[in-house]
Chain A
Amino acid sequence: MAEPAASVLDVRDLKTVFRTRGGEVHAVNDVSFHLKPGELLGVVGESGSGKSVTMMSLLRLLPSPPADIRGGKALLNGRDLLTMTDDELRSVRGAKVGFVFQDPMTSLNPVFTLGDQIMEPLIKHMRLSRRQAEARAIELLELVGIPGASQRLHQYPHQFSGGMRQRVMIAIALACDPDVLIADEPTTALDVTIQAQILELVKELRRKLGMAIIWITHDLGVIAGIADRVMVMYGGQVVEHAPVHELFANPQHPYTRALLQTIPRITGPRTTRLKVIEGQPPILTGPLTACPFRARCEHRFDACDAMNPPRRAIDAAPTGQGHDVACHWHAPAKAEPADA
């Protein structure tokens, strides 16, 4: 693991369980990752892979019960978010860590003006006066590219389009100059041309403000364009982690490899037949005692049923720093590019 000084966020062995009537659901299983200042970490996975629950666990945003954080540490600048008091945590949420949610239609309050919603964290966390907050809010709206900011401040969410609302969400998340911005599928609900606008905006904001970003998505295409490092999740655990170029050029986990092949491309030769990952994602009704992907894996062998594979480093860097994978199977050397 990185020495705490180097990482703005350092998460170790995070474990979250949902208690339901049908039994326990192990949604997050020993997830570890870190985030350096100014870095963009992409988190990829299908629905139910635990990617959102992981990030919401960090800020204890999940209602408890049913959610129960069973263990682990989440150090933000050296302080553990999981053991903080509620008061301390409140000073972190929205101030040190900003959150942008998937659906810009439902995450803004329809009965307050945008001005009120952008100024709320400024007044609460930064203790600005209303007038100062308003000036800062206009600055923020201009930063995220909303024209006519001073008039727009007095409008309600329904007067904005989807893309505009997502810009407002980003403005709110950035209001207090956070160290970490967590973006949970921020462009999934948007059309491609609007998505392209938002991606450009985030790239530009990173250059200007230099905060660290965690970007959750199921879209490998989005990740390829913006991430520095990528963490692939499946069955509530990290199955592969690598710098972005390494991951796409040299995927190791059978899930990552298959996922990259199921997506048709818009350039290059046209695919004649899509590769299919047979079967369904696992239902996580108990602690993982075997590899969660084994039922859908084409390289399954005895070890996969006997034990859940730990993450092992592929390159010289220690696990969690460079390229690592949680798989018993060793992918053949890079001779044939990503062809299993």
Chain B
Amino acid sequence: MLDAQPAPLVQVQDLKMHFPIYSGLFRRHTGDVKAVDGVSFDILAGQTLGLVGESGCGKSTVGRAMLRLYEPTAGRVVIDGDDVATLSPEALRKKRPTMQMVFQDPQASLNPRMTLADIVSEPLDEHTNWTRDQKLERVYDLMDQVGLNRRFVNRFPHEFSGGQRQRIGIARALALKPRFIVCDEPIAALDVSIQAQVVNLLEDLQEKLGLTYLFISHDLSMVRHLAQRVAVMYLGRIAELSPSKDLYARPLHPYAEALLSAVNEPDPVLAAQRKRIILKGDVPSPANPPRGCNFCTRCPRVMDICQTVKPDLVEVEPGRLVACHLYTAAGSTGTSEASEHKKHERIQQGETR
């Protein structure tokens, strides 16, 4: 990793987010929903990492835990030099302007009683001591950037269409000039013809402002379009983390392969030729994940070792990390010292602790 690539802006190491389950008469702590169970990745400055997976795999939880919207159970989240996971409340507040979020449902994430101006300037109220005029000037500036007509400044969210509402959400996220934005399914609630408008806007802003994105989505074709690297999640863990072009050309992890084969291409000739891998059954519950590999209950290429030993995420080809026993050398016993060491070395990318 000593080539001319930019340095990582975001480094996530072994992030865990467990939600406790309380049950019985005395509400005793009887277990955990392991929504995120040891996730590591990094995002290079100015790039986009796509985080894909099916509903319930923990991809949104990763995004939320990274910004400390949840208190992570364990792990480090280094954003621009600070470990967000352990910052004190006051330091975290100061840190917030550098990291922002665009939410999935623009209907639900905008307060219906606030005008566009109120919504977009709220972060400014909180983090600056600007005058009203300065703030309004910034709001206008942001509206220009996201393509909203300045005349709409005093309108309420219900007066906007879905695509326009998502633009408001983006303007709000940009208000404090962040460096890193988590986009949590920002286009899932929009119509196809509107999706492209929002995606192009996100790309323009990235180029102009040098933003770094974590793009969380279940739309694999849109992620291919947007992201330089893609992490495929399954049941709280990363199955594969590869450069986008390699992943889509030749997925290595059996789950990534099945996921990609399930995508419907808008081309009837191709659709007739393609061989789909139809996975049997459903995703197991994250409160009671299978022993060994998370995917062993549905994997078409399952082996004996998969049911007992959890595979580590290791680099199997240059730049490609896969958590699968198919790719680890024969006789490997999973969590060996060597592979653990290698994993961290790769993820930290020369960072000194």
Contact = CB atoms under 8 A, between A and B. Distances in A.
A221 B192 contact: no
Interface string A275-295: 111101100000000000000
B200 A46 contact: no
A225 B55 CA distance: 23
Contact of B263 (A258, A259, A266, A275): A266
B193 A224 contact: no
A271 interface: yes
B136 to A, nearest CB: 26
Contacts of B220: 192, 266
A208 interface: no
B15 to A, nearest CB: 23
Contacts of B54: 191-194
A142 B241 CA distance: 38
Interface stretch (A61-69, A77-85, A195-203): A195-203
A164 B280 CA distance: 12
Interface in A202-248: 218-225, 227, 244-245, 248
A192 B53 CA distance: 9
Given A196-B276, A264-B225, A277-B196, A225 B264 contact: yes
A171 B224 CA distance: 36
B193 A194 contact: no
Contacts of A196: 261-262, 276, 278-279
A192 B262 contact: yes
Given A200-B278, A245-B269, A270-B225, A276 B191 contact: no
Contacts of B144: none
Contact of B200 (A161, A200, A220, A273): A273
Contact of B282 (A163, A273, A275): A163
A155 interface: no
B199 interface: yes
A271 B203 CA distance: 13
A191 B282 CA distance: 10
Most chain A beta-carbon contacts within 10 A, residue among B161, B193, B221: B193
Contacts of A259: 192-193
A37 to B, nearest CB: 22
Interface string B312-326: 000000000000000
B196 A262 contact: yes
Given A47-B191, A192-B259, A248 B268 contact: yes
A53 interface: no
Contact of B265 (A46, A199, A221, A276): A221
A70 interface: no
Contacts of A266: 220-221, 224, 248, 260, 263, 265
B307 interface: no
A279 to B, nearest CB: 9
A262 B193 contact: yes
- Chain B's interface size range is 35 or more
Interface in B113-168: 161, 163
B282 to A, nearest CB: 5
A302 to B, nearest CB: 25
B299 interface: no
B218 interface: yes
Given A191-B55, A276-B196, A277-B196, A264 B191 contact: no
A260 interface: yes
Closest 3 CB pairs of A and B: A221-B264, A191-B54, A264-B225
A193 B222 contact: no
B270 A281 contact: no
A161 B54 CA distance: 13
A254 B260 CA distance: 30
Of A192, A273, A277, chain B has the most CB atoms within 10 Å of the CB of A192
Contacts of A270: 224-225, 244-245
B91 interface: no
B200 A276 contact: yes
B222 to A, nearest CB: 6
A281 B266 CA distance: 22
A21 B245 CA distance: 52
Contacts of B196: 262, 274-277
Given A193-B259, A196-B278, A262 B268 contact: no
B266 A161 contact: no
24 contacts: A191-B54, A192-B259, A192-B263, A193-B259, A194-B54, A196-B276, A197-B278, A221-B264, A224-B265, A224-B267, A224-B271, A227-B268, A245-B268, A260-B266, A262-B196, A263-B266, A264-B222, A266-B248, A266-B265, A267-B248, A274-B196, A274-B199, A274-B200, A280-B161
A248 B200 CA distance: 24
Given A192-B263, A196-B262, A197-B278, A267 B191 contact: no
A192 B191 contact: no
A158 interface: no
Interface in B228-286: 244-245, 248, 258-271, 276, 278-279, 282
A335 B310 CA distance: 54
Given A245-B269, A280-B161, A265 B221 contact: yes
Interface centre among B55, B194, B260, B269 (most CB of A within 10 A): B194
A195 B276 CA distance: 12
A276 B225 CA distance: 14
B328 interface: no
A280 B265 contact: no
A256 to B, nearest CB: 11
Nearest to A163: B282
B293 to A, nearest CB: 17
Nearest to B249: A267
A228 to B, nearest CB: 10
Contacts of A267: 248, 265, 270
Interface string A29-65: 0000000000000000011000000000000000000
B195 interface: yes
Contacts of A164: 282
Contacts of B200: 273-274, 276
A197 B244 CA distance: 26
B197 interface: yes
